[in-house]
Amino acid sequence: MTSLSGNTETQPSPGLAAEPVPAEELPVIPVRHPGRWVGAAVIAVLLAMLVHSLVVNPNWQWDYVQGYFTYHAILGGILVTLELTVLAMVLGIVGGVVLAVMRLSPNPIVVSAAWVYTWFFRGTPVLVQLLFWGFIARLYPELSLGIPFGPRFVTVDSNTLISTFTAAVLGLGLNEAAYMSEIVRAGILSVDHGQGEAAAALGMRRLQTMRRIVLPQAMRVIVPPTGNETISMLKTTSLVVVLALGDLLGVAALIYGGNFKQIPLLVMASLWYLIMTSVLSVIQYYVERRFARGSSRALPPTPIQRIRTRLRGGSNGATHRPPTSPVAVRHEGGAAL
Amino acid sequence: MTSDLTPDTASDTASDTASDDMVPDTTSAAGPAQPAQPGGEHMVSADDVHKSFGAVHVLKGISLRVRRGEVMCLIGPSGSGKSTFLRCINHLEKVDAGSLRVDGELVGYRRHAGRLHELRESEIARKRAEIGMVFQHFNLFPHMSALQNIIEAPIRVKREPRAEVTERAHRLLERVGLADKAGAYPKQLSGGQQQRVAIARALAMRPKLMLFDEPTSALDPELVGEVLDVMRDLAAEGMTMVVVTHEMGFAREVGDSLVFMDAGVVVETGRPRDVLANPQHERTASFLSKVL
């Protein structure tokens, strides 16, 4: 970055003068950024204050945080949190795709049904929905399979069929489906209209076209917000504490209910949530990168590649790019001299 | 990647004379011998076809006949309704009034006991599968390779065995001069190459009629020739084609008939040479003076 050596490799365009002028070697002075130093100083002071308080304030009780971090009940709670996240998201994504396709159907009845579903599940708090599923037995003590208004073939106790865990998955998943349907719908609408026409002209049916042609192309738009929803879901699962289900926060609450060590246990839970969402963020990044394939010829760099470039490229962090035209650069350099 | 044009672009002038001899008289009933067809001698028969988009009356009574094996070119200013008429033929647009028949059968309706019943989606799809269509913007499926683009519909729609379809797809790619591009994705192909894949994709369904909606309008000028060559070969093989185009040279050389449309009506019909050289209507003459 300190000289312009290597410019001679740049090919002059054939329309210009035939003789390439050999490049002079001139030092380049990068732009100074004094504001960055002031900002860095302010942030450094604030950071020092934070670290100081974390160390000095005994109420953090770091020994308890550490002690409970890998406690077996906590690890069990983490497992429940992860299971809930995965199952609720699977239910949400499948339901979301079905609802989105329904919303775009030519059948007005189907469109209305999907619209009402989204209206209801998006319009009531997920906490209320969770409680409803938890208390479903109060509403319908028995669930039956049979002919509507006619004989019943099988009847089961609601509490047996819908355990607390099932209630949590249903509550979170059905709510998520309403949000996912909007994401999937946006993805479907982002696909060029001509794609559906080309498929129709080949004799493909509507659902066939959706599955084979439109949805695969919609994925690029659908994947990023879905990753976002998954991270959001991981945290939303903590609401199942109202169903007394032993998820991460539930177990932590149970423990501090007994020993009154609220702060260290909440810190411990927060750290675990941070670790899990961080892992999900990394996964999301690579999934997005994968779906970018085919849409652009060169893939964006991975974070590790970017850090490497930045370390090599110097302090300004700009992309390492050689000057495009030796003539132009030399002209500017000449003016500065 | 874009530099490898097909070798057959060189044969531009050679095929001129060949196809010249094949042009049948528009008024004669000839055409490739296909006896006992349900639609008689006509592949497309339009009688007083009307179409409106909201308050805009786009087609104001179109009546046309396309014989089997005929290449009909539709020309006219933008907004004249030529693309809309083309899209009506395979029911991408619904006709408001009039009668439109393809191979003797009404488009979009079934006649039963003196009434017209609208066709179900599956019936419309089955009829579309018999008509190939090539779009201005190619509309290849970007997430599939050239080969996958071609074999998709024969496998999914006609339920033909994959091995058989794949072999046919390779032959079609060879025919359009892209034998080495089977694995290439649309993004990696030039416009002309994409359009040739699109033609191969339509041909893979073994259509009885091919519709071309301004197939070369989105192409760089130097790529137009390679697409027209493929279409010229297709015409020489006796395919029935309706071509919306601005390529007057193509219309003159390959077209059996030329239709000039303006403001939703057919202004003039005739042999391409006659219409282009000696237009009978003032509107035709004025349009041609701008484009020729």
State pLDDT tens for residues A180-203.
Answer: 999 999 999 999 999 999 999 999
Q: Is B65 helix (H, G, I), strand (E, B) or coil?
A: strand
Nearest chain A residue to B125, by CA: A203
Cβ distance A294 to B185 less than 8 Å, yes or no, reads yes
CA distances to A104, A296, A308, B97, B101 from B48, rounded to whole Å, are: 33, 48, 70, 7, 12
Q: How many whole angstroms separate alpha carbon A126 and alpha carbon A174?
A: 9
Choose the closest CB to B129 out of A203, A216, A217.
A203
Pick among B102, B157, B214 to test the A interface (most A CBs inside 10 A): B157
Reported as a pLDDT band with limits 50, 70 and 90, residue A115 is very high
Nearest chain A residue to B88, by CA: A201
For residue A334, is pLDDT > 80?
A: no
Cβ distance B128 to A297 less than 8 Å, yes or no, reads no
Choose the closest CB to B156 out of A198, A204, A216.
A204
Nearest chain A residue to B93, by CA: A197
For residue A130, is pLDDT > 50?
A: yes
The alpha-carbon gap from B17 to the nearest alpha carbon of chain A, in Å, equals 33
Choose the closest CB to A195 out of B141, B157, B187.
B141
pLDDT at A287: 85
Q: Which residues pair with A157 in a beta bridge?
A: A142
Nearest one of B234, B227, B239, B242 to B74, comparing CA atoms: B242
- Cβ of residue B151 closer than 8 Å to a chain A Cβ: no
Under 8 Å between Cβ of B115 and B55: no
User: Across A77-224, where does the E strand assignment appear?
Assistant: 142-146, 152-157
Residues in A touching B185 (Cβ below 8 Å): 294
Pick among A110, A202, A291 to test the B interface (most B CBs inside 10 A): A202
Nearest chain A residue to B158, by CA: A203
Q: How many whole angstroms separate alpha carbon B243 and alpha carbon B228?
A: 11
pLDDT at A286: 87
Cβ distance A216 to B187 less than 8 Å, yes or no, reads no
Nearest one of B64, B63, B65, B58 to B83, comparing CA atoms: B58
* Main-chain phi, psi angles of B105, to 5 degrees: -105, 140
Under 8 Å between Cβ of A129 and A140: no
Structure tokens at B56: 């805009």
Strands B105-106, B71-75: pairing is unpaired
Choose the closest CB to A195 out of B139, B158, B205.
B139
Q: Which residues pair with B167 in a beta bridge?
A: none
- Cβ of residue B137 closer than 8 Å to a chain A Cβ: yes
Sign of the CA dihedral with A253 first, then A255, A259, and A262 last:
negative
Nearest one of A126, A101, A110, A295 to A205, comparing CA atoms: A101
Cβ distance A198 to B122 less than 8 Å, yes or no, reads no
Residues in A touching B130 (Cβ below 8 Å): 203
Residues in A touching B139 (Cβ below 8 Å): 192, 194-195, 197-198
Q: Is B60 helix (H, G, I), strand (E, B) or coil?
A: strand
Cα angle at A269 between A268 and A274, to 5 degrees? 100
Q: What angle do helix axes B12-22 and B221-236 make, rounded to 10 degrees?
A: 40
Cβ distance B125 to A197 less than 8 Å, yes or no, reads no
AA letter at B12? D
CA distances to B51, B68, B108, B208 from B102, rounded to whole Å, are: 17, 11, 10, 10
CB atoms within 10 A of CB B133: 26
Reported as a pLDDT band with limits 50, 70 and 90, residue A337 is very low
Q: Is B147 helix (H, G, I), strand (E, B) or coil?
A: helix
A157: left (phi over 0), alpha (psi -120 to 50) or beta: beta
pLDDT at A304: 78
Q: Which residues pair with B111 in a beta bridge?
A: B116
CB contact burial B167-187 (16+ within 10 A = b; e otherwise)? ebbbebbebbbbeebbebbbe
Q: What is the pTM of this model?
A: 0.75
Residues in B touching A209 (Cβ below 8 Å): none
Task: Work out the mean pLDDT of chain A and round it to a whole number.
Answer: 84
The alpha-carbon gap from A299 to the nearest alpha carbon of chain B, in Å, equals 15
Reported as a pLDDT band with limits 50, 70 and 90, residue A145 is confident
Residues in B touching A203 (Cβ below 8 Å): 125-130, 153, 157-158, 205
Residue count (chain A): 337
Under 8 Å between Cβ of A299 and A291: no
Q: How many whole angstroms separate alpha carbon B85 and alpha carbon B93?
A: 8
Residues in B touching A294 (Cβ below 8 Å): 142-143, 185, 187
- Cβ of residue B122 closer than 8 Å to a chain A Cβ: yes
Under 8 Å between Cβ of B88 and B107: yes
Q: How many whole angstroms separate alpha carbon A91 and alpha carbon A313?
A: 46
Question: Over the Cα atoms of chain B, what is R_g?
Answer: 19
Cβ distance B139 to A216 less than 8 Å, yes or no, reads no
- Cβ of residue B149 closer than 8 Å to a chain A Cβ: no
Cβ distance B187 to A203 less than 8 Å, yes or no, reads no
pLDDT at A4: 47
Q: Within chain B, which residues score under 50 in pLDDT?
A: 1-35
* Main-chain phi, psi angles of A262, to 5 degrees: -60, -50
Q: Is B285 helix (H, G, I), strand (E, B) or coil?
A: helix
Residues in B touching A207 (Cβ below 8 Å): none
Strands B109-112, B115-118: pairing is antiparallel
Average pLDDT (A89-111) is 95
Nearest one of A10, A6, A11 to A28, comparing CA atoms: A6
Choose the closest CB to B205 out of A197, A203, A216.
A203
Q: Which residues pair with B50 in a beta bridge?
A: B60, B97
Name A24's Cβ contacts closer than 8 Å, sequence gap at least 6: A4, A330, A333
Nearest one of B117, B91, B106, B108 to B47, comparing CA atoms: B106
Name B268's Cβ contacts closer than 8 Å, sequence gap at least 6: B259, B260, B275, B279, B280, B281, B284
**Does an H or E element contain B78, and which?**
none
The alpha-carbon gap from A218 to the nearest alpha carbon of chain B, in Å, equals 11
Under 8 Å between Cβ of A34 and A337: no
Cβ distance B157 to A204 less than 8 Å, yes or no, reads yes
Q: How many whole angstroms separate alpha carbon A200 and alpha carbon A181?
A: 24
CA distances to A69, A71, A272, A274, B93 from A60, rounded to whole Å, are: 14, 18, 16, 18, 70
- Tell me: the pLDDT tens digits for A266-309? 999 999 999 999 999 999 888 888 776 555 555 667 777 777 87
Q: How many whole angstroms separate alpha carbon A182 and alpha carbon B242?
A: 41
Q: How large a percentage of chain A has pLDDT more than 70?
A: 84
Cβ distance A198 to B135 less than 8 Å, yes or no, reads yes
Nearest chain B residue to A293, by CA: B143
pLDDT at A2: 45
Q: How many whole angstroms separate alpha carbon B151 and alpha carbon B167?
A: 9
